[in-house]
Amino acid sequence: MTSRTVRFNWQQVLFGLGEMVISLPEGSKVYGVPRAGQILAGLLASRGMVPTEDPDEADAIVDDIIDSGRTLSNWVERYPSKPFLALVDKRDMIGSDPRPYIVFPWEYPDQHVKDGQQAVVRLLEALGEDPNREGLRDTPRRVFKAYQELTEGIDLDAGEILSTVFDEKHDQMIVVRNVGFWSLCEHHLLPFSGDATVAYVPRGKVVGLSKIARLVRCFAARLQIQERMTEQIAEELQRHLDPLGVGVVIRANHTCMAMRGIRATGEMLTSALRGVFMQPEVRAEFLGLAGR
């Protein structure tokens, strides 16, 4: 998957509306969850439903998307006897990781960009700053653009990166050392950086050197924790190359620890081993070549 954006057309929306009202009697009152759910409530009027601004008197609650399920849980807890209907349920998108960003016909093409920039404005205001002062006027645009760049890995597909392989009978360990990266800690949205050493013992297939660096970036350029990133790199290399084994070591410094909280520096080391790399002698050889 090279892009996470899926654009719905009106035909898909109308079909979805039909699916939503199957279980509702004609004339049912529907309450739309602000803001996009209110648009759907208005559209459902053409299907015999009656929009209402009072959720207490509604027969059903409607929204555009069930994403994480958090909004759904809140409304179901509040109105357990009322159905919660959505145009799209991302939880049904099995095998889609990461799940796509949905854009509906009534949304501006760059609405998510505008929403992101506005979120930065609200953050500045919450911190007691004036977003309109000279030094901050263009900050929301710059900040959102920077975070887009720092998380562009969510649009990259490890399978596509590793899709070009070469038949080769080389059966010794291949090690790519010190692949530098930057990532964002998902707990504080602060950066951590370091380098990755990636190794594998091929089983008749090898991959270009640059693909290893691209694979590291694929998982670094997103909201991450170092432990998961290490496992993801190893898992995808094992899955797509089917080597005899894989070894990954990552070392990094985390500004979320150095800049706040305990305010102490320290290097974190993580490793992930697959296949023959679990054997003591192979593990020792890899760690020796990795310089750890």
Tens of each residue's pLDDT in the chain, 292 residues: 344 678 888 888 999 999 888 889 999 999 999 878 899 999 999 999 999 999 999 999 999 998 878 889 989 999 999 999 999 888 776 555 556 778 888 876 677 788 889 899 999 999 999 999 999 999 999 999 999 999 999 888 898 899 899 999 898 999 999 999 999 999 999 999 999 999 999 999 999 999 999 999 999 999 999 999 999 999 999 999 999 999 999 999 999 999 999 999 999 999 999 999 999 999 999 999 888 5
The label of the residue with tokens 């959505």 reads 86
Give the rounded distance of the alpha carbon of 225 from its chain centre.
13
pTM comes to 0.66
Q: Are 64 and 37 in contact (CB under 8 A)?
A: yes
Active site residue: 188, 231, 235, 285, which one? 188
Q: Does the domain at residues 5-103 carry the CATH identifier 1.10.3470?
A: no
Give the rounded distance of the alpha carbon of 79 from its chain centre.
30
Class of domain 111-150: mainly alpha
Q: Which two tokens stand for residue 91?
A: 């939880």
The label of the residue with tokens 């894989």 reads 246
Q: In the sheet that 60-66 helps form, which strands lie side by side, from edge to edge?
A: 50-52, 29-32, 60-66, 84-89
How far is it, in rounded angstroms, from Cα 178 to Cα 248?
A: 11
Told to judge if 256 belongs to the known catalytic residues of this protein, a careful annotator would answer yes
DSSP 276: G
Active site residue: 38, 224, 226, 232, which one? 226
Q: What is the pLDDT of residue 1?
A: 39
Q: What is the pLDDT of residue 34?
A: 85
What number of residues does the chain have?
Answer: 292
As to burial, measured by CB atoms within 10 angstroms (0-12 exposed, 13-18 middle, 19+ buried), residue 167 is: exposed
In the chain, what are the domain boundaries?
Answer: 5-103, 111-150, 158-289
> Which residue type sits at 168?
E
Told to judge if 187 belongs to the known catalytic residues of this protein, a careful annotator would answer yes
CATH number of 158-289: 3.30.1130.10
Active site residue: 160, 168, 186, 227, which one? 186
Active site residue: 152, 187, 227, 279, which one? 187
Active site residue: 185, 218, 224, 236, which one? 185
Q: Which two tokens stand for residue 27?
A: 């004339």
Told to judge if 185 belongs to the known catalytic residues of this protein, a careful annotator would answer yes
Told to judge if 186 belongs to the known catalytic residues of this protein, a careful annotator would answer yes
Give CA torsion, residues 95, 1, 164, 202, to 10 deg: -40
> Which residue type sits at 83?
P
H runs (alpha helix) in the chain: 10-21, 36-44, 70-78, 111-126, 139-150, 158-161, 209-220, 226-241, 255-258, 280-289
Residue 276 half-sphere exposure, CB side, CA atoms within 13 Å?
Answer: 16
Q: For residue 260, which phi and psi values (nearest 5 degrees)?
A: -145, 180
Characterize the bridge pairing of strands 165-167 and 174-185.
Answer: unpaired
